[in-house]
Amino acid sequence: MTNSWTDIKNTDLVVIMGGNAAEAHPCGFKWVTEAKANRGAKLIVVDPRFTRSAAVADMYAPIRQGTDIAFLLGVIKYCIENDKVQWEYTKAFTNAPYIVKEGFGYQDGLFTGYDETKRDYDRSTWEYELGDDGYVKSDIDHPRSVWNLLKKHVSIYTPELVERICGTPKDKFTKICEMIAETSSPTKTMTSMYALGWTQHSKGSQNIRTMAMLQLILGNIGVRGGGMNALRGHSNIQGLTDLGLMSNLIPGYLTIPTEKEPTLDAYMSTRGFKPMRPNQMSYWQNYKKFMVSFLKSMWGDAATADNSFAYDWLPKLDVPGYDVLRAFELMHQGKMNGYFCQGFNPLLSFPNRKKITAALSKLKFLVIMDPLDTETSRFWENHGDFNDVDTAKIQTEVIQLPSTCFAEDTGSLTNSGRQLHWHWAGGMPPGEAKKDAWIMAQIYTRLKALYQKEGGAVPEPIVNLDWRYKDPGEPSPEELAKEMNGSATEDIADPNDPTKIVLAKGKQVVSFAALRDDGKTACGCWIYSGCFNEAGNNMARRDNKDPDDTGAFPNWAWSWPVNRRIIYNRASADTNGNPWDPSRKLLWWDGAKWTGYDVPDIIPTGKPNEVGPFIMNPEGTARLFARGMMRDGPFPAHYEPFEAPIANVIAPKIRGNPVARVFKGDLEQFGDAKEFPYAATSYRLTEHFHFWTKHVQINASLQPEFFVEIGEDLAKEKGIKSGSWVRVWSKRGSVKAKAVVTKRIRTLTCDGKAVHIVGIPLHWGFMGRAKMGFGPNSLTPYVGDANIETPEYKAFLVDIEPIAGPVA
């Protein structure tokens, strides 16, 4: 989230699209009801289903899953044509005026540079034109300005085309355009609340980008009550992402080197961007300080200037990343031997369950660390229809380790609003269950001892890992938190007075501003620097005062970066530094520096008419045109899901996202609308949390049994009664479920064709207290988003038929 949960109360308009906040985040949704009650805010819900968010909305419109980009580009077109643009913001704070290189174009659904055999683009034309001074040329009236290119790009998305693609009735779409366009006023804001309804598509990243672009031209980024608010699904998924527990990441959104970057210098040559416009901060110029401090926190004294701070010991990528789809593809090919699942249930989480089962069956060993008895840990066990495997043939050794749950562990979690909250253990683990940190330390110390004793393949990164904890067998949460914050590894002198020590060896750095690229500081995660400094554990702060009721709560817990509550907050003031909305002040220029309710997201003395608000971009502005940074286009374009009930009406020959990666073998497993006529989608229900709460007695009773939801038309057509049994199948698998027949799912008309939607919730399996059932992953296709490989869970094709129920 760019903003925080409590900031939502400041909004005038909430758009829930690509998510279902009332069901998945009820207590965060509270702030929507507060905005409605106190500010008269309106709520718009756009969803294939009339959800429990829609139940309290002022405006609901149906949309066919996987067509959000067409809808949103249609809204952008409406705003541009009706002059509903926050012009001063758009001209000053976005790249709208910049000139794009000659040669860039878009035709028949493709941008310049497409190579069909590689399923990839040559992106060299997706770039700005530079002037003789080396800076980007800027002229909004130029025919190749980003603005003019955008205008042209969105021009085809008329309300008629939107209705034809999305199935959204034109009158509802237009009404929504009007409501959204009102927030182009500098004194009106809109917030976007989205989640996996936007990410789990083969063009998920572009779904989000399209809304971000709309928010930028409306001037709704960096302001109170505005923003792009990704509602993260797990209690610490934000933290794990921040800390880089992903294939290609280093903590703080640094990236793992590729094998084309054999040295630290080579690695740095493509990072640490220089400003592309005069006076811009281009904050990544500090990249090396964060990187070297990270390497120091990994390998301590063994990371020296002489060995480039042990840069060699970091693994180097040969492909963009070993995301889970690639990992299970390799496993399926028999190329992986071992796998660890720490609080993770891939048998139900990853697409095409048959493939997942086959892949796990090829492992030599599988290690499970979990508080609960998961389906994955018992993937080898036969549970009849619900897990029909040949146990004896599965040669995988499975080691299941009991871990603690939240109630028995101490430490911090990062919420969706980037706030790190400390919590305390209050209960005792059952039996011999152990904390995850203990388990990791025990595994590590044993592995290290084996390498010290036996030697082996490149033992250096393991035996030299900085593990100087009081008890190496169990690092304490405080020790680990301090390490993330960072400290001085040597005395650091005042650059102006070398006799004066500004930070003594061993002291915590105050924030990432103190980090260095010479090895004198170590810091596990630069964006977390400040969480546990010499002032103490800032994550444990519990002062809930909120001066002037802005919703910032600046002294409650700690927010990254540097306790900033709304990022890009400099954009809340105009080019002279005065708040756009005097009734909703956030930050302002007092003539000499930035001041206000939040920590400025800009150098405090950066003059308002010189330094742009988007300091992480070398342009200093936000990008309506993404340059070459997105694999599938500098502008979003409508693509159908890989399995869609109709062809792409803009470019009928293109199936799915033209650059999404498809593994051999998975392509043949895509179904078409002739064989599988119904458009399916998957989602959470408010009564459950993923595959956990089916183990919880109370939640099991609140939503006991797997079901699928269909509309009344399809039910009538197929002779399906509510509460009766159905079979639903795709090209990849089949499930049996109870049917819930509802008015909340309606038949859509897309490209002249009736489209029936089948809704499939995801909470059931064969372990726990709830009735045994299936998940949507028995049916979903094995393909991910073109940029970050999020599986396409939200749009696929199925067939459905009534069946007799199981014999009691």
Partner 1 sequence: MNMELSRRRFMVGASAGLAGTTLGALGFGELEQAYAIAIRPFKLTNTTETRNTCTYCAVGCGIIMYSHGDLKKGEKSEIFHIEGDADHPTNRGTLCPKGAALLDMVHAETRLKYPMVRKPGSDKFERVSWEVALDRIARLMKDDRDKNFIAKNSDGVTVNRWLSTGFLAASATTNETAWATYKVVRSAGMLAFDNQARV
Partner 2 sequence: MFPPLPNPTVQPTPAVFGEQDLIRRSASSVPAPARQLTPMAKLIDVSKCIGCKACQAACLEWNDLRQEVGSNVGVYDNPSDLTPDSLTVMRFTEWVNPETQNLEWLIRKDGCMHCADPGCLKACPAPGAIVQYSNGIVDFVHENCIGCGYCIKGCPFNIPRISKVDNKAYKCTLCSDRVAVGQGPACQKACPTQAIVFGTKDDMKKWADARITDLKSRGYKNAGLYDPPGVDGTHVMYVLQHADQPQIYAGLPANPRISLIVEVWKGVTKYAGLAAMAGMAIFGALHYLVTGPNNVSPDEEEKAKHLAGGPAS
Q: Which residue has the tokens 């990187």?
A: 291
- The nearer residue to partner 1, 698 or 804, going by C-beta atoms, is 698
| Segment 32 to 91, residues that bind partner 1, using CB under 8 A | none
Other Cβ atoms less than 10 A from the Cβ of 556: the count is 18
Contact predicate 492/501, CB 8 Å: yes
Q: Does 154 bind partner 2 (CB under 8 A)?
A: no
How far, in Å, are 137, 361, 381, 389, 390 from residue 393 at the CA level? 65, 9, 11, 9, 6
CA–CA gap between residue 256 and residue 368 (Å, rounded): 26
How many chain residues touch partner 2 (CB under 8 A)? 47
Instruction: For 711, list phi and psi in degrees, rounded to 5.
Output: -80, 170
> From the CB of 252, what's the least distance to partner 1, in Å?
11
Q: Does 702 bind partner 2 (CB under 8 A)?
A: yes
- The nearer residue to partner 2, 172 or 203, going by C-beta atoms, is 172
Contact predicate 225/10, CB 8 Å: yes
780 interacts with, out of partner 2, partner 1, none, CB within 5 to 8 A per kind:
none
| Segment 489 to 508, residues that bind partner 2, using CB under 8 A | none
CA–CA gap between residue 673 and residue 523 (Å, rounded): 53
> From the CB of 98, what's the least distance to partner 1, in Å?
31
- The nearer residue to partner 1, 74 or 530, going by C-beta atoms, is 530
- The nearer residue to partner 1, 140 or 358, going by C-beta atoms, is 358
Among the residue ranges 34-42, 178-186, 363-371, 380-388, the one whose residues contact partner 2 (CB under 8 A): 34-42
| Segment 712 to 741, residues that bind partner 2, using CB under 8 A | 721-724, 738-741
x-or-dash pattern for partner 1, window 368-407, by CB under 8 A?
Answer: -xxxxx------xxx--------xxxxxxxxxxxxx-xxx
* Interface residue with partner 2, options 698, 752, 806, 807 (CB under 8 A): 698
Angle in degrees, CA 364, 367, 372, rounded to 5: 140
Q: Does 770 bind partner 2 (CB under 8 A)?
A: yes
* Interface residue with partner 2, options 182, 460, 474, 687 (CB under 8 A): 687
| Segment 331 to 350, residues that bind partner 1, using CB under 8 A | 331, 335-344, 346, 349-350
> From the CB of 326, what's the least distance to partner 1, in Å?
8
- The nearer residue to partner 2, 52 or 355, going by C-beta atoms, is 52
CA–CA gap between residue 660 and residue 99 (Å, rounded): 28
Among the residue ranges 24-32, 183-191, 210-218, 599-607, the one whose residues contact partner 1 (CB under 8 A): 24-32
Q: Does 772 bind partner 1 (CB under 8 A)?
A: no
How many chain residues touch partner 1 (CB under 8 A)? 171
- The nearer residue to partner 2, 26 or 582, going by C-beta atoms, is 26
435 interacts with, out of partner 1, partner 2, none, CB within 5 to 8 A per kind:
partner 1
Q: What are the start-end ranges of the H helices in 616-741?
A: 697-702, 712-718
Q: Does 508 bind partner 1 (CB under 8 A)?
A: no
Q: Does 420 bind partner 1 (CB under 8 A)?
A: yes
Q: Does 238 bind partner 1 (CB under 8 A)?
A: yes
> From the CB of 544, what's the least distance to partner 2, in Å?
11
Among the residue ranges 224-232, 379-387, 622-630, 769-777, the one whose residues contact partner 2 (CB under 8 A): 769-777
- The nearer residue to partner 2, 131 or 805, going by C-beta atoms, is 805
Q: Does 481 bind partner 1 (CB under 8 A)?
A: yes
Cis peptide preceding 561, ω within 30 of 0: yes
Strands 497-503 and 492-494: antiparallel
Q: Does 442 bind partner 1 (CB under 8 A)?
A: yes
Q: In the numeric block, which tokens belong to residue 750?
A: 């897309």
738 interacts with, out of partner 1, partner 2, none, CB within 5 to 8 A per kind:
partner 2
721 interacts with, out of partner 2, partner 1, none, CB within 5 to 8 A per kind:
partner 2
Contact predicate 180/75, CB 8 Å: yes
* Interface residue with partner 1, options 228, 298, 745, 779 (CB under 8 A): 298
> From the CB of 722, what's the least distance to partner 1, in Å?
23
488-497 CB burial, b ≥16 within 10 A, e <16:
bbeebeeeee
The whole-angstrom distance between residue 158's C-alpha and the CA centroid of its chain comes to 30
Contact predicate 311/289, CB 8 Å: no
Q: In the numeric block, which tokens belong to residue 597?
A: 């309710």
CA–CA gap between residue 130 and residue 115 (Å, rounded): 26
CA–CA gap between residue 763 and residue 709 (Å, rounded): 14
251 interacts with, out of partner 2, partner 1, none, CB within 5 to 8 A per kind:
partner 1
x-or-dash pattern for partner 1, window 255-294, by CB under 8 A?
Answer: -x--x--x--------------------------------
> From the CB of 469, what's the least distance to partner 2, in Å?
35
- DSSP for 708-764, written as a single string: EEEEHHHHHHHT--TTSEEEEE-SS-EEEEEEEEETTS--EEETTEEE-EEEEE---
Q: Does 33 bind partner 2 (CB under 8 A)?
A: yes
Contact predicate 512/524, CB 8 Å: no
Nearest to 19 by CA among 40, 47, 59: 47
Instruction: Read off the DSSP letter of residue 411.
Output: E
Among the residue ranges 48-56, 283-291, 334-342, 417-425, the one whose residues contact partner 2 (CB under 8 A): 48-56
CA–CA gap between residue 414 and residue 439 (Å, rounded): 22
Q: Does 772 bind partner 2 (CB under 8 A)?
A: no
> From the CB of 623, what's the least distance to partner 1, in Å?
22
Q: Does 692 bind partner 2 (CB under 8 A)?
A: no
Contact predicate 533/511, CB 8 Å: yes
758 interacts with, out of partner 2, partner 1, none, CB within 5 to 8 A per kind:
none
Helix (H, G, I), strand (E, B) or coil at 197: helix
Both ends of the chain: CA-CA distance in Å? 48
Q: Does 386 bind partner 2 (CB under 8 A)?
A: no
> From the CB of 423, what's the least distance to partner 1, in Å?
4
Q: In the numeric block, which tokens belong to residue 72?
A: 């949103």
* Interface residue with partner 1, options 169, 233, 628, 802 (CB under 8 A): 233
Instruction: For 115, list phi and psi in degrees, rounded to 5.
Output: -120, 110
Contact predicate 639/654, CB 8 Å: yes
CA–CA gap between residue 461 and residue 506 (Å, rounded): 23
Strands 228-230 and 190-194: parallel
Residues 6 or more apart whose CB falls under 8 angstroms from that of 164 comprise: 649, 750, 751, 752
- The nearer residue to partner 1, 163 or 666, going by C-beta atoms, is 666
Q: Does 688 bind partner 1 (CB under 8 A)?
A: yes
- The nearer residue to partner 1, 407 or 504, going by C-beta atoms, is 407
- The nearer residue to partner 2, 304 or 701, going by C-beta atoms, is 701
Residues 6 or more apart whose CB falls under 8 angstroms from that of 77 comprise: 154, 155, 157, 158
Contact predicate 355/742, CB 8 Å: no
Q: Does 784 bind partner 1 (CB under 8 A)?
A: yes
* Interface residue with partner 1, options 2, 94, 199, 669 (CB under 8 A): 199
Q: Does 446 bind partner 2 (CB under 8 A)?
A: no
Q: Does 536 bind partner 1 (CB under 8 A)?
A: no
- The nearer residue to partner 2, 335 or 771, going by C-beta atoms, is 771
Instruction: Read off the DSSP letter of residue 395.
Output: -
Contact predicate 223/86, CB 8 Å: no
Q: Which residues bind partner 2 (CB under 8 A)?
A: 22-23, 26-27, 29-30, 33-34, 36-38, 40, 50, 52-56, 58, 60, 686-687, 697-707, 721-724, 738-744, 769-771
